[in-house]
Amino acid sequence: MAYIFPDPVVRRARLPGFLSVIFNSDLPAGACFMTAQGEAATTWRAPGRGHLSFREMLQQAWPWIATSRTALARALIVSAASDANHPKGPHWYLHIAGCAPQAQGKGFGGAAIRAGLARSDAAGIAAYLETANEANLPVYSALGFRVTHDWTVGSGLRCWSMLRNARTSSALTT
């Protein structure tokens, strides 16, 4: 998000609307999970729905323009790079994972992610995410994700693609 909204004041002002547009897009295309008191939340896009369709793009054009404003070009660059790096096979896409700063390090983010992983495991389908924060790699690794490759956006935003194969019931008990 810092790449899309480099100015922290602008980012703080625009992020609620920006994330609302993502939530409103991801919910009908997959699932959203939140901890009981809203400490952490995740949005997931279902297999085959990892990318916005042309129709979805048209329907959401005005909300994206209204929330992104001058950052729209950077948001579209990030989105295109993300789309180009998705795995080819079926997967649940962990699009957004967020945790309130005061709740970080207390297990809330992991709980919100595990709720989505339970769904992908039950369906026998892999889970995929990308992160631009290297400090997140051990967190996601602890949840079973592995780095498949890294890539850059624009002139230097480094991102990592991570995949987690579905776990069967017997693998979950061992």
CATH of the domain at 33: 3.40.630.30
Residue 27 has pLDDT above 90, yes or no: no
pTM here is 0.87
Whether 150 is in a domain gets the answer yes
Whether 163 is in a domain gets the answer yes
pLDDT at position 40 is: 95
Whether 1 is in a domain gets the answer no
**169 pLDDT band (50/70/90 cuts)?**
low
Whether 26 is in a domain gets the answer yes
Give the domain range for residue 121.
Answer: 8-173
- For 59-63, 92-96, 125-129, 144-148, which range has the lowest pLDDT when averaged over its residues? 59-63
Whether 168 is in a domain gets the answer yes
Whether 3 is in a domain gets the answer no
Whether 47 is in a domain gets the answer yes
CA-wise closest residue to 97 among 3, 166, 47, 26: 26
Which DSSP state fits 104? T
**131 pLDDT band (50/70/90 cuts)?**
very high
Tokens 């998705």 locate to 86
Residue 138 has pLDDT above 90, yes or no: yes
Task: Give the span between the Cα atoms of 77 and 92, in whole angstroms.
Answer: 22
Distances (CA, A) of 11 to 3, 14, 17, 29: 10, 5, 10, 26
Distances (CA, A) of 41 to 84, 114, 122, 155, 169: 25, 11, 20, 30, 25
pLDDT at position 49 is: 80
CA-wise closest residue to 48 among 3, 80, 93: 93
Q: How many domains does the chain have?
A: 1
pLDDT at position 174 is: 45
Q: Kindly state the average pLDDT of the residues 82-99.
A: 93
> Measured between alpha carbons, how far apart are the two ends of the chain, in Å?
37
Q: Kindly state the average pLDDT of the residues 98-122.
A: 94
Label residue 165 left, alpha or beta by phi (over 0 means left) and psi (-120 to 50 means alpha): beta
Percent with pLDDT over 70 in the chain: 97
Whether 130 is in a domain gets the answer yes
Q: Kindly state the average pLDDT of the residues 32-46.
A: 94
Label residue 43 left, alpha or beta by phi (over 0 means left) and psi (-120 to 50 means alpha): beta
Q: Kindly state the average pLDDT of the residues 141-158.
A: 93
